[in-house]
Structure 1
Amino acid sequence: MMRRNRKTKITLFFSIILIVFIAAFVAFSSTFERVAPTISIENNNNDTMYWNGRDKIILKAEDNLGLKNIKIEYSKDNNETKNILINKTINAKDFTAEIDLPKPKFNEKLDRYTLYIKANDKSLWNWFGGNTSEQTINVIVDNKKPQVSVIANSYNITQGGAASVVFYAQDDNLTDLYIEVNNRIFQVAPFVKDDYYIALIAWDLRDGNDFEARIVAKDKANNIIKERIPYYYSNKKYRVSNIEVGDNFIDGKIKDLYEANSDNSLNDRALIFDFVNAKLRSENEKIIHKITKVVSNELVNDFKLNAFLPLKNGMKVADFGDHRFYKYNGNQISESYHMGLDLASTKMAPITLSNDGKIVFAQDNGIYGLNLIIDHGLGLYTLYGHCTKKNVELGDIVNAKTTIANTGTSGLALGDHLHFGVLVQGVEVRPEEWMDSKWLNDNVFGIIKKAKEIINKK
């Protein structure tokens, strides 16, 4: 009897051990993992998507252990009858399918489909049935392109210059709206009434002689329209300068800027000059471009400016757009574009603000020295370089006629002057245009006035 009880206890003990072992195996073995497959559809973030009837619907399924089966069905409108699109056995960790829903038959009007997606994995969990993910997606049929029409625009644009446009764009499911200029993106701002927009655009002189501007509108169903803005455009020949640099120049300002902005590993004068003129300049301009790309999405009812006159009695000492090639000992060592207008008068002359704005940058910036940047709205910014004794700080709202700083020799300036720049959405443009009242009336204010008259009649 005692021997039988002992045998029973041993059997029970090993049974418990076996059960614990099996339980541990099930709990910790990847074969019995409990993570269901993931299902995603491209350009769809919820249970409703929009489809234009042309594009393939891209479905992706993944599982860390491996997929076993994918089943995709659909139904039309409110019809509950399901039709099989895909029912496939899979032996892979990921699966991609291009779903092509059937096109409506002749005279058949379809507003939506419903997709039913089911994915099973290879896990032995759930009594060897695996983990299952199911997703139901409403597919709204939308094959209408957004409506776009130009209301008013500048007559022409000059290479290196700017222009304006006001236009209408409407779609119930609009997702993207911008202007594409030579592969650059320009943001737009709402104007006066719903579905009307305004923008300043720019033609970067470094983009070459070709120009094209189109309004691009895209909706949730990926219907896209690109409407050309009918600008006449004119090429402009900018100055080309060949400049010989000497040891004294490199050993002065250039070396100072190099030592303040590098690891000081270069000893060759030509390389030191190219570092400051090309690499440091590029880094400084990246900062400027990033700051000046910002466009407010607040409603614009009007946009008025005075012609810019930053330096009273200032004389031009260097042109905008000057393409400079530098030589040292007869060999070309570097090149750059001068992307502003240099103005000079007296030493430490007051720099006066011509228009209201907000200080968005006010600190040292390499070759630009003490550099101020002011936001005037609608993506328009003015830049003031080589300053001394600034009277404003970052974030200040400043009014016209305010003295913001004084001219100086900070940065890469050999003589006391102001480097005055104008940027439209991160692109340097000809300051002369924004210093000309007639140009402003013809290309900005007149366009806005004409557009408002047309819009208010509708």
Structure 2
Amino acid sequence: MADKKKLRLVGLSGHIFLALIALGLAGIIIWLVQSRLDRHLPWVNLQPPGEVVGAKTSFTLEAGDQDSGLKEVRVTITQGDLEKVVFNRQFPPGGAPGAREELPFTLEPQALGLKEGKARLSASATDRSWRNWFQGRTTILSRDVTVDLVPLNLAFVSVNHLLHAGGTGVIRYRLNKAAKESGVVIDGRFFAGFPQPGGTQGEYVALFAIPRETPGTVIAEVVAKPGAGPPVVQRVTLKIKPRRWRHDKMNLSDNFLHKVAADFKTAHPGDPLNAYLEVNREMRKANHERLRQVCSRSNPQPLWSGGFQRFLGKPMARFGDRRAYIYQGKQVDSQEHLGEDLASLLQSPVPSANNGVVVLAEPLGIYGDTVVVDHGLGVFSQYSHLSQINVKVGEEVKKGAVVGKTGTTGLAGGDHLHFSMLLQGEFVDPLEWWDAHWLKDQLEGQWKQAATPAAPVKAAAAPAKAGKEKKGKARPVKKRRPPQ
């Protein structure tokens, strides 16, 4: 009996030992399977982002896998029925679990037999897991691209010859193909070009603001940016007629300063002078930036018809006036006046200067209740200090349609209209735009003339202003005007 019992114990121990071995093997197998059937997909990225592939474009493939590591990465490009491998790399070496791989390569579409046009660029990363019957898991990143093999060519055509400081210029140019962006750079400011009205494909015009302070000669750059590669630039020398801007002194009364401090929210509510200076400086800058944003998009064709209509009022301040602000006998500030102040009867109806679309109709800081109208090709008109606004954003208006009534809103000392003309957010002299002959000859004449290259010529005399002005030093303005 004792021997039988002993044999049973030995047999039981053997079974337990075998069971433990089986459990251990099962655990090892489960661990191996779990480790090779990882939980995370591999990741892949392609830099730089973009939708255009040039004749020779450099990329960097970024990829990795957190669990099992990378097995292979591949980049292909497909155009129609043609598919070509651009880059391929297998691991190891490299591609360890958690490692980030950055692999540069160059794509030359023409060498692969691709043509200009649409294509699809794909990057894939495969890990070393046992999933998909030991083939691993794959992540694919694809993007539609345009193959751009023809170099972008730019040719300057012409520029209007009456170029005055603070005025408007227009340059015509040709492109052999569509560019990502094109236009004119002058004084560090970019003015986008538009398809030439009535022109053929590839003909463009760019209206630009001429700097108000200029030595007489300015270099303008006609710029076109291709989808890939550096921009194409052609420099043009422009002869600018300088201007002698008027100078004026604006006396600030305590009553006016207290009114400004009460009407505007500032950081100096208990200090009328500093409250006024904050409004006149910082708020003015913010308002001008707001106008640049509003005027950054424009109808690609001219909406206007004929010369721009002038509001019938007495000139109280002119475009480009240099203003010195005087308080208690001392100059406390200086600013440029960037429009025409016109005074008529109280709350006079204000007509739209020309056909267009309303893009702003709201209070605008120092300018008070304001309307801005887009006339196309980057041209905008501004109507400020209104007591009433009669239009809404998006509304189409005809020349002469009433957009509001004159008033004293904003930083105005009396009922009047502040009228400005802007090119893509930059102020220009309204006098030119009120001149139907200038508009026809200098502006519209540029895109209606034969497309013959012409070098810029010396500017003629500046357009005549209301009243006589003697030569020599700028004379002070004696009339008192509402400060702005």
Instruction: Give the TM-score range, shorter chain.
Output: 0.7 to 0.9
Cα shift readout 1:30-70 (whole Å, capped 9, x = no counterpart): xx45332313142544xxx53344xx613141437498788
Residues 99/327 of structure 1: CA separation in 2 closer, same or farther (3 Å cut): farther
Residues 356/81 of structure 1: CA separation in 2 closer, same or farther (3 Å cut): closer
1:182 is the counterpart of 2:191:
no
| Alignment match of 1:293 (pick from 284, 293, 296) | 296
CA RMSD of aligned residues (A): 4.6
Q: Tell me, in whole angstroms, the C-alpha distance in 1 between the residues paired with 2:241 and 2:215.
A: 12
Structure 2 match to 1:372: 371
Q: In structure 1, what residue type is equivalent to 2:322?
A: H
Which deviates the most, 414-423 or 237-246? Answer: 237-246
| TM norm structure 1 | 0.76
Summarize the alignment of residues 391-406 of structure 1 with structure 2, pairs less than 5 Å apart.
Answer: 391-406=390-405
Structure 2 match to 1:345: 344
Structure 2 match to 1:267: 270
Structure 1 match to 2:239: 232
Structure 1 match to 2:467: none
Structure 2 match to 1:166: 172
Summarize the alignment of residues 210-359 of structure 1 with structure 2, pairs less than 5 Å apart.
Answer: 211-222=218-229, 224-229=231-236, 231-252=238-259, 254-259=260-265, 262=266, 266-297=269-300, 300=301, 305-312=305-312, 314-329=313-328, 332-359=331-358
Which deviates the most, 7-16 or 317-326? Answer: 7-16
Structure 1 match to 2:201: 194
Q: In structure 1, what residue type is equivalent to 2:152?
A: P
Q: Tell me, in whole angstroms, the C-alpha distance in 2 between the residues paired with 1:11 and 1:144.
A: 73
Q: Tell me, in whole angstroms, the C-alpha distance in 1 between the residues paired with 2:25 and 2:393.
A: 73
Structure 2 match to 1:22: 31
Q: Tell me, in whole angstroms, the C-alpha distance in 2 between the residues paired with 1:186 and 1:437.
A: 23
Q: Tell me, in whole angstroms, the C-alpha distance in 1 between the residues paired with 2:290 and 2:282.
A: 13
Q: Please state whether the residue corresponding to 2:218 is helix, strand or coil.
A: coil
Structure 1 match to 2:53: 50
Residues 81/363 of structure 1: CA separation in 2 closer, same or farther (3 Å cut): closer
Which stretches in structure 2 are left out of the alignment for 5+ residues? 1-7, 454-484
Structure 2 match to 1:437: 436
Give the C-alpha shift of residue 381 in structure 1: 1.0
Q: Tell me, in whole angstroms, the C-alpha distance in 1 between the residues paired with 2:48 and 2:318.
A: 50
Q: In structure 2, what residue type is equivalent to 1:276?
A: V
Residues 208/382 of structure 1: CA separation in 2 closer, same or farther (3 Å cut): farther
Structure 1 match to 2:462: none
Q: Please state whether the residue corresponding to 1:320 is helix, strand or coil.
A: coil
Q: In structure 2, what residue type is equivalent to 1:181?
A: I
Give the C-alpha shift of residue 445 in structure 1: 2.0
Cα shift readout 1:208-231 (whole Å, capped 9, x = no counterpart): 977333332233342532133564
Q: Tell me, in whole angstroms, the C-alpha distance in 2 between the residues paired with 1:309 and 1:290.
A: 25
Q: In structure 2, what residue type is equivalent to 1:178?
A: G
Q: Tell me, in whole angstroms, the C-alpha distance in 1 between the residues paired with 2:381 and 2:86.
A: 62
Q: In structure 2, what residue type is equivalent to 1:228?
A: R
Structure 2 match to 1:59: 60
Which deviates the most, 215-224 or 378-387? Answer: 215-224
**1:73·1:85 contact (CA, 8 Å) conserved in 2?**
no
| Alignment match of 1:149 (pick from 141, 150, 155) | 155
Cα shift readout 1:344-364 (whole Å, capped 9, x = no counterpart): 122222222342222222222
| TM norm structure 2 | 0.72
Q: In structure 2, what residue type is equivalent to 1:272?
A: A
Q: Tell me, in whole angstroms, the C-alpha distance in 1 between the residues paired with 2:147 and 2:424.
A: 36
Q: Tell me, in whole angstroms, the C-alpha distance in 2 between the residues paired with 1:332 and 1:64.
A: 68
Give the C-alpha shift of residue 186 in structure 1: 2.0
Which stretches in structure 1 are left out of the alignment for 5+ residues? none
Residues 144/13 of structure 1: CA separation in 2 closer, same or farther (3 Å cut): closer
Q: Please state whether the residue corresponding to 1:306 is helix, strand or coil.
A: coil
Q: In structure 2, what residue type is equivalent to 1:256?
A: A
Give the C-alpha shift of residue 197 in structure 1: 2.1
Give the C-alpha shift of residue 318 in structure 1: 0.8
